[in-house]
Amino acid sequence: MRTETRKSGNRHGLLPVQVEILQYLCACNRYSNTPLAVAEYLGTTKGTVSQTLKALERKGLVTKETDPKDRRVVRLEVTRKGRQVVDRIVPGEAFGAALARLPNEEGAQLPALLDQLLGAMEETTHRSHFAPCRGCNHLELSTRTARCLRRGVTIPRKELELLCRDYEDASASAH
């Protein structure tokens, strides 16, 4: 997948790290779109991310805006042009095609196995877990609303599938 991403990004004049940042920013929620969150997600320094973001801004793929509620925070947004580029980057299709070639029984087990493997890797490496809000310990769901208890805000249901840097596995805290 990395090779396919690299080749696809090259066709658009992007380095692999630029592709990763664009993909992350397209998939994260409004509380996880800061340079610091990008650095945490990639496991790199804020300085490295800063230089890469400047290049993405020059290409018209990302914009930076000061957060209106906290002027110290910079929020990153992928432009329409940036989203079009991400939509044309292919590795997800290759993964889906490969998964479809597995026997049904193995294909059905793979998501759970991958989830277990990645969870074990996170525990071993003590890395942050970026994941959609839907399985988070901080999430309070009722029939009408979804609320993040950590931030004290209502979350639109459509945002429950976006990546969050504050994710805490609800099943892990039950042990």
Please give the structure tokens belonging to residue 43.
């496991």
**Per-residue pLDDT tens over the stretch 108-128:** 777 677 767 766 776 676 556
Least confident of 2-16, 34-48, 96-110, 112-126: 112-126
Measure CA of the first residue to CA of the last residue in the chain; give whole Å: 34
Rounded to an integer, what distance in angstroms lies between the CA atom of residue 3 and that of residue 6? 5
Question: Is the per-residue pLDDT at 173 higher than 60?
Answer: no
**Per-residue pLDDT tens over the stretch 133-158:** 888 889 998 888 899 999 899 998 88
Residue 171 confidence class, pLDDT cut points 50, 70, 90: low
Residue 175 confidence class, pLDDT cut points 50, 70, 90: very low
- Residue 120 sits at the vertex; the CA angle it makes with 164 and 132, to the nearest 5 degrees, is 20
Look at strands 163-164 and 146-148 and give their pairing: unpaired
In order of start, what are the domains of the chain with their CATH numbers?
Answer: 2-87 (1.10.10.10), 102-173 (no CATH)
Q: Are 73 and 37 in contact (CB under 8 A)?
A: no
